[in-house]
Amino acid sequence: MIRRCRIMKTVTIKFGSVDNATSFVKAIEDFESHFDLIYGQYVVDAKSLLGVMTMDIRNKVDLRIMERENEMPTIMKAISPYIAA
């Protein structure tokens, strides 16, 4: 079965610490939606802790969300602590 994305949204996030990066991955891992972290020319799967750790977690990065299953309100609530001001 092919699942189509309903909404694509990009937000800027910042972790600031390894603990925050780890808790971020745990916060999004059970969603059906797809998440990419983008920093310059680099793109990694945001559900992959190893991928997240390859990014410079001290800097802001873009999070691209490709929503599935009408999850966007719940996703935004889960990632709100990591959204950069």
Q: Please report whether residue 2 resides in a domain.
A: no
Could you tell me if residue 21 is inside a domain? yes
**Which domain range does residue 25 map to?**
7-82
**47-80 residue pLDDT tens:** 999 999 998 888 999 999 999 888 999 999 999 9
Residue type, 48: S
7's CB contacts (< 8 A; 6+ apart) are 65, 66, 67, 72
Q: What is the pLDDT of residues 27-38, one digit of tens each?
A: 999 999 999 999
CA nearest neighbour of 37 among 56, 17, 18: 56
CATH of the domain at 66: 3.30.1340.10
Statement: residue 1 has pLDDT above 60 = no
H/E run at residue 6: none
